[in-house]
Structures are given as structure tokens and as C-alpha cells.
Chain A
């Protein structure tokens, strides 16, 4: 079976975990391995970015949060962006134009990440949450329907960031994940050590460039298969006719 079909199944699993609260299960202690708002009425998992901000506001080192993020990072790195994160899935679904900007620098997500952490400290507030488009979609809109939220200035700010992100996603493939997502920024630090990883065989590669065309993140898998933007989605694996690129979930070989 093609990887893309498996991926749709796990992405469905991510959405399911995100909304499992519908069944009446309350909040658990689990950190979500992606960007999913804990304020979502049906969330049963803790948003890592929200938790880190709160711990900074409390002035406590987030041992538990950092430990959990390290565990996710070691397991799959940005693989969660490609295979699990509901907001990543939305990026996938909206990026029907498949347009990519290959050479554009994409360090914006680190700026957002550092800005989020420093902002939480400087303002003693979860400032990023007030702008987060995932929060707009997953908590502002549901709470408006539930009657807790009203259309006020913070709500309109949320709608503006969501609108801008949606426009970006439609225009550029995986716009949010590639340029802005702080969670993607954290997980990308583990891309070179994660168990889930791409392997490339130089012997069979014909340098046809099919992987590069297929890649939603605009990287060149046959030149750098551990790039910080690689979400290990396997689009390049499906596209590679000689089979030079393969996806593995195992300890890495030396080299």
C-alpha cells in the first residue's frame, strides 16, 4: 500500500485523538505531539506550546513538558507534523494548489518559537495563544457556538490570524508548518536523531528530481533527507521510481 494511504489513516487518528473528549473522557496528562489547542472543548491532551508558556509564566522549569517533547522528538521528529498533527492535516487538505517556494528561507518558525517563549516571560502571559490560528479554529469558534465566547476584539484577532493562515495555506503548500509553526520548530531540532527517518541510496538514485517535485515542504530529499523542514511524510518515497528513498522507523545506521 502506498505510504500516502497509511498517512491519511494516522492523520485521521490524530484528529480523532484531538476530539476524543466528545466521548466524555476528561483532560488527561498527555501532551499532544503536535499543535492542538488544549482549550478546544473536546481536547483531552495538553498543548505543548501552551504548557511551555504557562510554565514560564509560573516561573517553573517545565521538566515534564521538556521530557515529553524530547520523547516525541526522539521517536519521530517532525514526523508528527506529516503523520499526526490535525493542524498539519488541515495544511495538507487546503494546499490543493501544491505550490512550493523552494528556495525561500524558512527560519520564521524559530523566530516564532523564541518569540513565544520570550513573550510569555516578558508579558507574563500566554501571548502566543491569543494569536494561534489552531486556537482560533479549535477553541474560539467552538466556544462562540457554545455561547461562552462573544464576538469581541480578541475573537476578531483570532479570526484574522486564522484567515491569514488559511490564505497562506491555499497559496503555498504547508505554509503554516513550513514558515511559522513553533511546535514544528521544536520538533525539527530532533530531525537528525529521530527513529523515524528517510534513507537515501546513492547507488540507485538517478537524480531525476521526482522527489523534489513531490515534496510538500519544498526540500530536496535526495540532497538532504534530514532537513529541518522534512516532515517525513513519504511523498518523496512514493514518487521515487528507482526506490532510492525509503522511510524507516528504527535506530539509525552510522554515517
Chain B
């Protein structure tokens, strides 16, 4: 009997620990940064040019991609590289970075690092991610043509800008409340176990009731009941296995492109999506492509969680459930759900009535 109880307590404990640890691990680096070249030869007072290729391999959108420089004193990013406001899912961007070498820089090799930061959101929860890439600058001697002996960068350098975050690591401050919650839970379970070994049952019930009430109250305070409702009220076709999420960019055939370019009447599309829907970025990317091919195709993206009344008005609802992704053409009484064969289905919808 008591063996079973202990096993059950250990199971609950393990479960709590796993669930508490998950949010920490769920933060990922969704962008990859490639630097070309990794080593640049440059003269004092000149600018070294570095090209950065940034790729987004995830279904999430990355926002506010910023680059900064950490390295020996006097080296500056000049002009400051442009901030990339939005990097779309599966998208990529090239960033040119200029590093100004001070006039009085001694010849030799200097290693600094480009510090990138960006944010991405999953539902209401956003993460800021920091990453760094090393760049080696070989400063030429004024009259020297060849490479000079590399020198070790001076230690104890102060970063030139207001960089206070540790580099190369994800900012994981968001995990602290979970760690505290897990710690309290572990303490509570241990306390209940000790009480039970003393022959008391009520402390166990007190802990369970507190956890129940506290969980429900704190969850409601965080708005998690609304979140639960909105998750369940919107049907994401790829989430429950009605179709597969596409981890690829949409591909229009040459013939489909010709047919899209041939559309002569203005067409307006509404694209319904939800922030956590994995197949929605595919539908959005496809409509963006179509819009780029033919300016007569206008479109608007509608987040069904933010604007449910629009979803209701255009009937993107199947027996009470809003279905995403869905594409509606204004004036046409037919809705495209899901992403399977969406390229050909969308072209047919665009040509309707033409």
C-alpha cells in the first residue's frame, strides 16, 4: 500500500517537474546567422564590410532583429546596421554590417563579436533571444601589405554600447516564476508526505485543495481560461490531424502564374489565421506571392482571435467552430479551408466569374 502511495507521489512530483521545466526548454533559437567572411582584412581608419545571412527556419515570425558590436574599444558599427522589423516564417534576409576601425588601431588581429537580438511570440508569450557570432578583423600596418602576426585581444574590454545581456545565450528570465512554482510544489508534496508518515491525512488534502484553487485562480488571472476557450473554439486543420502542416514554401507552377497574371478584374481576399496555427503561414505566404504576381489581387490577413466578428460575418465557421486557415474571396460564396492543394484551389477561386 504505502509503496504504491510513494510511487504515486514520485510520479506526481516527476510530472510537475517535467511540466515546469518544459516552458524553459520551449524557448528556441528560431533564426540562424551566417557571417561571410569570418575574417576581414582592413586598414586603420577604414571600414570592414561583413555580410550576414539570416534565415528563419520556423513557422514563427521573428521581430526586431538588431545587430550590435562587442569588441575592443574604438571599433564601431558605422553606419549602424538596419533593424529588420519583421522576418517572415521560412523567410531570409541579408544584412550588411560595416565595422569602423579606429585611426589609431595597432596592426594585428582583433576578435570581436556581432551580437544579434530578436523577439518572437508564441501566442501571448514573447521571447527575446540573444546570439553572437565572432568576427576576426586583421588590421593592416600602414605600410604593410601582407598579414601581420595575430595578437591576442586585450582582456577586460568594455562593450561600446549599452550591452548588458550575456551574449550567445537565450534570455531565460521567463522561467523564474515556473522554477519558483515547481519548488513550492515539490516542498508541498514533501511536506504532505512527511505529514502522512506521521498519520495525518488532512495536510495532503490542504495541499491539493490549495493547488486546485490557486491554479484555477492564478490561471484565470492570467487569462488562461480565455486562452483555453480560444484554442478550442478555432479549428486548426493541421493541429488535430485533418491535414498535414506544410513545412515548405508554396510553389506555383508556371502555368498557374500565367493564369494569375491573366486576371483582369479586381479581386479581394480575406485570409483567416490564428497565431498558433502551423499551416496558416503557408496560406499567408501563398496569398502574398499571388498579390505580388498580380496587383489586382488585394488581400487582408485576419487574426480570428483578435477579430472573431469578421470570421463570423464571412462564415468561416463550421457548426460553431472557426476553421483556420481559410481564404474567402469577397463576393464569392465559397471558402477555401486548409492548405492541401491550396495553390490550384486558390487559382480556381480567383478565376471564378471571370
Q: Is B338 an interface residue (CB 8 A)?
A: yes
| CB contact list, A19-44 vs B, under 8 A | 21, 24-29, 31, 37-39, 41-43
Distance of A70 Cα from B124 Cα, bound (Å) = 25
Q: Are B233 and A27 in contact (CB under 8 A)?
A: yes
Q: Are A54 and B276 in contact (CB under 8 A)?
A: yes
Q: Is A56 an interface residue (CB 8 A)?
A: yes
Q: Is B323 an interface residue (CB 8 A)?
A: yes
Q: Are B212 and A67 in contact (CB under 8 A)?
A: yes
| Selected contact of B318 from candidates A146, A189, A252, CB within 8 Å | A146
* Size bin of chain A's contact surface: 35 or more
Q: Are B224 and A64 in contact (CB under 8 A)?
A: yes
Q: Are B219 and A38 in contact (CB under 8 A)?
A: no
**Which of the segments A7-15, A151-159, A168-176, A213-221 contacts the partner chain?**
A151-159
How near does chain B come to A183, taking the closest CB pair, in angstroms? 14
Give the one of B235, B320, B338 with max A CB within 10 A.
B320
**Which of the segments A81-89, A97-105, A123-131, A234-242 contacts the partner chain?**
A123-131
Q: Is A108 an interface residue (CB 8 A)?
A: no
Q: Is B293 an interface residue (CB 8 A)?
A: no
Q: Are B215 and A59 in contact (CB under 8 A)?
A: no
B211 nearest in chain A by CB position: A70
Q: Are B321 and A39 in contact (CB under 8 A)?
A: yes
Q: Is B23 an interface residue (CB 8 A)?
A: yes
How near does chain B come to A32, taking the closest CB pair, in angstroms? 10
**Which of the segments B38-46, B70-78, B133-141, B236-244 contacts the partner chain?**
B236-244
Chain B residues closer than 8 Å to A252, beta-carbon distance: 201
A-B contact count (CB 8 A): 204
| Selected contact of B243 from candidates A110, A121, A152, CB within 8 Å | A152
Chain B residues closer than 8 Å to A193, beta-carbon distance: 204-205, 208
Q: Are B318 and A41 in contact (CB under 8 A)?
A: yes
Chain A residues closer than 8 Å to B323, beta-carbon distance: 148
Q: Are A117 and B18 in contact (CB under 8 A)?
A: yes
Q: Are B215 and A66 in contact (CB under 8 A)?
A: yes
Q: Is B19 an interface residue (CB 8 A)?
A: yes
Give the one of A42, A47, A114, A149 with max B CB within 10 A.
A149
Residues A41 and B232 in contact in the complex (CB < 8 Å), given A67-B216, A70-B212, A124-B26:
no
Q: Is A184 an interface residue (CB 8 A)?
A: no
Q: Is B295 an interface residue (CB 8 A)?
A: no
Distance of A149 Cα from B20 Cα, bound (Å) = 35
How near does chain A come to B200, taking the closest CB pair, in angstroms? 9
**Which of the segments B4-12, B89-97, B105-113, B152-160 contacts the partner chain?**
B4-12
Q: Are A41 and B319 in contact (CB under 8 A)?
A: yes
26 A-B contact pairs sorted by A residue (CB < 8 Å): A27-B229, A29-B228, A41-B319, A51-B231, A59-B122, A61-B19, A64-B224, A64-B227, A67-B219, A70-B208, A70-B215, A71-B216, A74-B212, A110-B11, A125-B245, A126-B240, A131-B241, A143-B242, A148-B337, A152-B244, A155-B241, A155-B242, A158-B241, A189-B15, A192-B8, A228-B4
